[in-house]
Structure 1
Amino acid sequence: MPAKNAADIPGVCAANVFTSPKSIRLEIKSAPKTHRYCIVCKKEGNKRHRLIKALDVLQSSKQHEYFSRTDITNLLNDLRTIMKMTSSRLNFDIPALMTEENYNDLTALSEDQFSDLLGYMSTVRSSGVRSVRTCLGVFLTKLRVGLSNKILGTVFGLKTSQVQRIIHAARRTLMETFVPHTLGFQHVSHGDFVTNHTIPVAKQLFTTDPRQAVIVLDGTYIFIQKSSDYHFQRMSYSMHKHRPLVKPMIIVGTDGYILSILGPYFADGHNDASITKHATTNNLENITAWLQDDDICIVDRGFRDAVQYLEDQGYMVKMPACLSGKKEKAVNNEGS
């Protein structure tokens, strides 16, 4: 009898590599094996139409599939290779690779808090490059550690341009969904703020009416890098701190609850008093409708030029008494 070719022998491929027969049945649903046409609408796929929406209405044509021992071995080897590649990188999509300490170090949130914040990312769509979890994780890591986009791309296995798009998408989404519910004068009512965010000591020291709100105002600094834009560089350079910065105005309750953050403002020509006047005059965040007559504003001496202005608006201002000079201080020390 003439010898058979290797390709004619069952279980043997042309390259003389033995493969086992497909005799192992697994309860895995499957669909027709095609990558060119959509198995639902038969539409031809291309780079512009990736047929992702069809997966939502996908129906299986088989309730089980047969595999060979070789197929299962290859599947396990491929899975092992993928795990080796991903285990060397941070991956928010694989919970087993992220510990509670990883979440806290990278995002300053716990895993549960991260999951809660993820609920506000519903308008962000997953893509073949990154998921919604990765989008949020990269954005929070950027805020937390301040790494460059290039380094973040190396850490998370992304291109620098992809990191840029991720940060832009996450920021825009959270500004639309999360921030309005947690920050600003309109996210909490005047009555709820008085009841829940005014400590008893503040009520006893400053208020005469239980309906009065007590807010604490103070400006702070966010240091930034020197800009290559000369005009922006001049506006952001602080003669007081001798470095570029921007100045947000923080408004909190007496228990430390952040009511609102106004700004940020440029460093040139803006102090606490001028920022306060600007916010009130322009009614930022509808602040004049939220504040009521005789509400208490606790400030420091940086607001001394705005005290009379605030009092003219109907608010009560509490500022620590400050000595006017060293001479007066010396006289008082001698008399004490």
Structure 2
Amino acid sequence: MVVINDDAHSDSYEFMDVQVKTDDSSCLTTVENPTLITTTNHQVVKLQLNATSSFHTKCCVCRENLRDHAVKISSRDRDFIFFSRNIWIPEGARCCSGHLINNLLSKEVVDQIKPFSIRYQELSSSDVQLLLSKAQTLFKNGKKIFSLDDPRDLNDDEYCLLTSLSRDSFNDFVQIISSSAIRPSCNRSIRTAIGIYLCKLRLDNLGFGHVTREDVIGGGTTAITQELMCGGNSTDIPIIIIDGTHLYIQKSRNNEFQRKTFNLYKKGSLLKSMMIVTTTDYIVACIEPFMSDFNNNDAAIMKDISLRNTDHVLSWLFSLFLHNLK
């Protein structure tokens, strides 16, 4: 909260008291009536910021004594933490090398960082313009669905879903492959290329032909689901979850295709797919993309799949029933 000084001859603005809890003691470090001072002649703004430590002998993250492999916090990480956590990391601050993944602070480390003290930082007009430009860039990048180049963008479960590898295993795999002859290009990095390749490998192992009903019944169904849906007695009924999902695409120049892919509810161009998974989150099948206009809701897509018996879904679901009829 900012209270503007009514004095016409004053250039100062008064803030409310700020309290920062440090890890070194149980007490609170209190700064009373900190001020934001603007000097019109020199175009300098003095800001009161929550800041980390900047000792050359201690890590600004864990505050332990630095070892031989200390590294400086990159400007990219400093900007990201300032805009996402409202914590200022002074230029030149160092941390332990174990906190980094691909030269960037890991997500766990970003969440771990805490302010050490209140710092008065002077910023020139050009510094303020640069901060605004960086904030705009981060906002644009934040609108992307996901990025494999930023290790903080996806959590461990999302890595497993896309690549079937945990985040740590994926990072280790990228590090091993990067030492080979593979090279990045202007269109994609090595990390993105490996991620896309693993996603394609996972897609090749989809469909009702790659898993049997017995596998789903025996290992793909939770006990509570069996109890709720079958009374815990049936061992020959597969239980699956069918739900539609969507994938955003670029706006097409083809007017007819654009109209069929524009979704009024999501207010964007996208394609829909029908996901068929088990109660243990194992993906059994992903039925081909459909248009996303008002004609293709989940019920209409499921009706189309049933009528065409796509990927022999009916045979897979009711094979035991059809066998008994014969």
TM over 0.5: no
From the two aligned structures, give the one with the greater helix fraction. Answer: 1
- The structure with the largest strand share of the pair is 2
TM-score bracket for this pair, using the shorter chain length: 0.3 to 0.5
Structure whose alpha-carbon radius of gyration is higher: 1
TM-score using structure 2 length: 0.42
